[in-house]
Amino acid sequence: MIKALRILLFCASALGAPAAISHAEDLEDLAPYKILRSLQFIQDSVVLGDHSAIEMQRYMLGAIDKRLRTAGIVQFEDPRNIDAALIYAMSGGNPETLDFLTSRDIEGNFDSRVTDALRQYLNGKGALIVANLAKTIPEYRNSRIGPYLYLILGNAASLQDPKAAMGYYDWARLMAPGTIIEEAALRRSISLSMRGGVPEKGFAYALSYARRFMTSPYASQFADIFVELAVTNVSDQTEAKITEILEFMDRPRQREVYLRIARRAAIAGLKPLARLAAERADALSDIADGKPKALASLYAGLVDVPSADILDAVKQMSAIPEQDLSPRDRALLQAAQAVAQEVLKAPEPESLTQATVSKVINEESEQPTGSGESPFAEPVAQTTEKTVDGIEEQQAKTAESKGDPEHDNFLTASRSKIDEIDTLLKGEVK
């Protein structure tokens, strides 16, 4: 009841109607559209950083549901209450309430084109509403329900036509700046920009989001999408774009995003980006921040395993305290160390000798034969009576003409181990 009184006080002050409190003991005496304004204020406050309002939001959704179901038919002669019912349904309300209201609508106050589209969308059939709602929506572009309809249409069209969906989201943002609608539209537009093949728009959307909504409870979802955008669209401008966007975050959040980028880039084999992100994350960590520093060191060393810097990478990763890593990062460290050790292991001399002897014998067996009278044929005695010294001499000649066999075998083994680490990390990329 205390929460309800607080909301009533806000509602009365926001509407400039102090008499509302004197004539109303609870929410049941308020018009649905007045209660809805309180819900909208609360939802916008949540995405702007007031996370304490989340519980109040749940309360308000229940209060509006009860008020809509108890409202008389005459209440819905006011178009503001019609809009309130539709916005409630599009704001996470009970879809059965909309069915209840339309079943009692004998006067035709509800637009059946809109209610039918919402009914299908709320029942998981959003793809079926795109064509009809796209034709209807221009009539509501400047109405109270316009931004919500454009957000719904963008969601419904996102699977079929990402570029068209981004256009619908742009309209929603234009009509409702600074609201939960803009926050949702921006966040979803970033994801669609990758599917639509326009990553430059994605970075622009990400910059707008970072400027306005980094205190939103959905900012962690934005971070996940942004990391994917940055790693899958690397170019000469990527570093500058990442730096510009992350400047709007506090140090801990910047560090977290840089670590995510470093991990994804390391697994994807993007060495420059992984190293850059790891260095930035390390620079943003205090001396006492053992875990972030350990992660930065892991991701920076991981990309050096299949490279000429493998010795430094092994030394760097060996110094990482495993207790500072999560289980999946600990497994990643152990896999990288195992592969690095195999790459650095010296080839077995017996294996090299057998391979070389076999190679020489095969080469000798393929030499052309003749009667011994041809000046171009090798004498038979020299071909069949090879000694160990002769084989060693042939090895030296082969190494001199074709390179060092030991070195070649070492490179072959190294490439094989590199393929192994790629196989181990495929699951991480997914």
Rounded mean pLDDT, 1-12: 45
Say yes or no to pLDDT of 120 above 60: yes
Counting residues of the chain whose pLDDT is more than 70, the rounded percentage is 62
For residue 83, give its domain range: 1-107
Domain count, the chain: 2
pLDDT at 119 over 70: yes
Domain boundary residue, one of 88, 107, 126: 107
State which of 63, 81, 107 marks the end of a domain. 107
Give the chain's mean pLDDT. 77
Using 50, 70 and 90 to split pLDDT, how confident is the model at 317?
low
Of 51-60, 250-259, 366-375, which gets the smallest average pLDDT?
Answer: 366-375
Between 21 and 87, name the one with better pLDDT: 87
Q: d(Cα 167, Cα 150) in Å, to the nearest integer?
A: 9
Is 194 within the bounds of a domain? no
The 10s digit of each residue's pLDDT in 204-222 is: 999 999 999 999 999 999 9
Answer whether residue 46 is part of any domain: yes
Q: Is residue 42 part of a domain?
A: yes
193 confidence band (pLDDT: 50, 70, 90): very high
Does residue 376 register a pLDDT over 50? no
Q: What is the pTM of this model?
A: 0.69
pLDDT in tens, 220-239: 999 999 999 999 999 989 99
Q: Give the residue, 345 or 209, on which the prediction is more confident.
A: 209
Task: For residue 26, tell me if it sits in a domain.
Answer: yes
Mean pLDDT of all residues in 401-421: 55
In a domain, 140, yes or no: no
Instruction: Indicate if the pLDDT at residue 381 is higher than 50.
Output: no
The conformation of residue 378, written as its DSSP 8-state character, comes to P
Question: Of the ranges 176-180, 183-187, 259-263, which one carries the lowest mean pLDDT score?
Answer: 259-263
Q: At what angle do helices 251-268 and 405-429 cross, to 10 degrees?
A: 130
Is 33 part of any domain? yes
Does 257 map to a domain? no
- How high is the pLDDT of residue 292? 73
Please report, as a single letter, which amino acid is at residue 364: E
Question: What's the pLDDT score for residue 397?
Answer: 47
Residue whose C-alpha is closest to residue 149's, from 118, 123, 178, 122: 118
Q: How confident is the model at residue 48 (pLDDT cuts 50, 70, 90)?
A: very high
Of 27-31, 95-99, 167-171, 380-384, minimum mean pLDDT range: 380-384
Q: Please identify, among 107, 142, 164, the residue that sits at the C-terminal boundary of a domain.
A: 107
Cβ-in-10-Å burial (0-12, 13-18, 19+) of 17 comes to middle
Place of tokens 């109405």: 143
374: left (phi over 0), alpha (psi -120 to 50) or beta: beta
Contacts of 323 (CB under 8 A, 6+ apart): none
The 8-class DSSP code of residue 348 comes to P
Residue 185 domain flag: no
Longest dimension (CA), the chain: 127
Element counts in the chain: helices (H) and strands (E): 23, 0
User: Rounded to whole angstroms, what are the CA distances from 293 to 315, 319, 340, 411?
Assistant: 15, 11, 21, 33
